[in-house]
Each structure stands twice: as structure tokens, then as C-alpha cells.
Amino acid sequence: MNQSMILVVEDDASLRHAVCDTLELAGYRVEGMEHGQSALDKIASQPVGLLLSDLQMQPMDGQTLLKRAKAMMPDLPVVMMTAYGTVQSAVDAMHLGASDYLLKPFEADALIQRVQQYISDLGTDEGDMVAYAQSSIDLQAIARRVAETDATVLINGESGTGKEVLASYLHHHSPRSNQPFVAINCAAIPENMLEATLFGYEKGAFTGASQAYAGKFEQANNGTILLDEISEMDLSLQAKLLRVLQEREVERIGGRKVIPLNVRVLATTNRTLRDEVQAGRFREDLFYRLNVFPLQISPLRQRVDDILPLSNRLLTKHASHARRVAPQ
């Protein structure tokens, strides 16, 4: 389940605002709407993870919205909100494809519990993004489309902007999502060990190689490899990486066996690689091999609308972790 947008469709403004506020405080991404047509327009233009809709609305009632939403997005979970007197209508809606219903008035805990069945509130480990700022919403929409391809993606952005989160999002929304996602930080591994870490080595290949090691490319086979901070790789290793990307095969250090690769490649950098190429610090041919589909992440100072939701998510995540490890 992905932490896409939750749409709340309710013509009672006070209830709509209360539901949206409750879900936002719980760390979800929510948008409230008064009319069903607005929800259909949103479903047509952006990824939606859950639809919460009132039954008794005008001019489009909840059942009509349900039918049209399901026609557009058959797998979309839909939870109907209904008063006691219209429970039968809610049951009828479930026969039409609704996932569940909530009986008004409902407590905040009941709302959260019901939503948790259909959408993840803390999805950072599954590659979810916080996207409230318009630039983030646009980026997520593009990322969702490119995730469905096997294109190599180069993600550029300042340190701390969420490049790794975006890379994880690309993997977890791709056809390879059930295969390995292997990340390696090229800046964090000593230069003399990076080649062995990437490509692997056989026993006895060098001093200290007491047993064979499958490198990161082998570990990621059939899945996705993330080359984090690729601009920190030295030129000699860039040449070897280029060959691996061109030939789609790897040979361990000290080995003779060629290992075929079926790996989707993602890379990140906090530098402008075109400038690095001009300065002679990065190979031009490798740059073009990586820059098949470039994505640019804006710094958080330019995404003000992301700050509060991101803070809420981090606080909720760490509070949950603290409860799990607290002594009993």
C-alpha cells in the first residue's frame, strides 16, 4: 500500500474539516472536497490511495460517485460515511464495490483505525513521499510514471532534500518492487574498497579476501540498485562502472566468470554533473548513460507546504518507535 492522497468528499463543511484535520494530524496526506465531481477530477489527474465519501450528497450522491470512481480506478478503496438511518444504503454501496462504511458520528480513533486498513500512514520504509507543496506533487506524479519503466534515472538535489526517498519511491512503485532494492553511498566507502563493494570479489583476490563476496550489483540482480552520490566516484572506477552499464554484466575482482545483470539503475548527486564533466571530474559518456531521465528535487526551503506534514510524519514515526522500545 502506498501513502497516496486520501480524498474526503463531504458536503457538511464542519465534518469535512474535522475529518481532514484528524487525518492530517495522524500523518496522512488529505484533501477535502464538497462535491463528487471535484473528486473525480482529482482521481483523473493524480494518484489517490483512498476515497472517503458521504452517501447523502447533492448534486452527485455517494453511490454515483462510487460507481464513477471505480470505473476510473477499479482498485481504489472506497469507504462510505453514513448516518444511522442510511445503513442499508451503505450496505448496498458495498455490493457496488465500496470497501467499508463508517457510521456517523464516529470517533477519531475509529476513523484512523479504518483508514489504516487501506493506506499506510508511515510509509517511508516503503518508498513513500511527503508531497504537499505543488513542486512535490508534480514531482511525485512524474516519478510515478517513470517508475513504471526501466529507464535509468539521475536524481539531483541538495543534501537532505530526500533523494534517497525518491529513489525508494521509484523502486517500490515499479514492476521490480518485489525484487531487491540495494543502495550504496559512493561517498561513504573508501576509494580502495568501493570497486570490491560494487562488483564483488573471489576468495584470495586480495589480502584479506578470505571468502568470496557478491557485490552490490549481484545483490540487486532483477531489482534496483541506487548509486548514491555518484559524483564522488573517482574517474578510474567510473570507467569500470560504464562498462558494467553498457554490457549489463559484471565480473568479480579475481574472478573469470561473467555474471549477466538485469538491474534497474538509479543514481543521485548533490552536484551539477554537467559542470563536473566540464571540469574533467566526471566522464561525459557515463553522464549520458545515467542521465536518461533526470529528476530534480527542490530544497525544503522552497517546499514550505511540506514542512509541517514531514515534521508530523517524523514525530509520529519516532514516537511509535519509542513506544515499542520503552521498558515495560
Per-residue confidence (pLDDT) for residue 318, from 0 to 100: 56
Per-residue confidence (pLDDT) for residue 86, from 0 to 100: 61
- Cβ atoms of 83 and 102 closer than 8 Å: no
Model confidence over 218-258: pLDDT tens digits?
999 999 999 999 999 999 999 999 999 999 999 999 999 99
Is beta strand 30-33 parallel, antiparallel or unpaired with respect to 5-9?
parallel
Per-residue confidence (pLDDT) for residue 47, from 0 to 100: 74
Q: Which contiguous run of DSSP H or E holds residue 30? A: strand 30-33
Per-residue confidence (pLDDT) for residue 53, from 0 to 100: 93
Task: Parse the chain into domains and list their residue ranges.
Answer: 5-119, 134-302
C-alpha cell at position 29: 496526506
Could you tell me which residues come within 8 angstroms of residue 275 by beta carbon, excluding any fewer than 6 positions away? none
The reply to whether domains 5-119 and 134-302 share a CATH topology is yes
Per-residue confidence (pLDDT) for residue 87, from 0 to 100: 66
pTM for the full predicted model: 0.63
Per-residue confidence (pLDDT) for residue 198, from 0 to 100: 96
User: Which CATH class name applies to 5-119?
Assistant: alpha beta
CATH code 3.40.50.300 for 134-302:
yes
Report the C-alpha gap between 133 and 161 in whole angstroms.
Answer: 13
Query: Measuring CA to CA, how many Å separate 281 from each of 219, 236, 270, 274?
Result: 28, 11, 14, 10
Which residue type does 285 have? D
Report the C-alpha gap between 69 and 40 in whole angstroms.
Answer: 6
Q: Which residues of the chain have pLDDT under 50?
A: 1-2, 121-126, 320-328
Per-residue confidence (pLDDT) for residue 135, from 0 to 100: 93
Per-residue confidence (pLDDT) for residue 316, from 0 to 100: 66
CB atoms near residue 215 (< 10 Å): 23
**What are the DSSP calls for 264-320, one per residue?**
EEEEEESS-HHHHHHTTSS-HHHHHHHTTEEEEPPPGGG-HHHHHHHHHHHHHHHHH
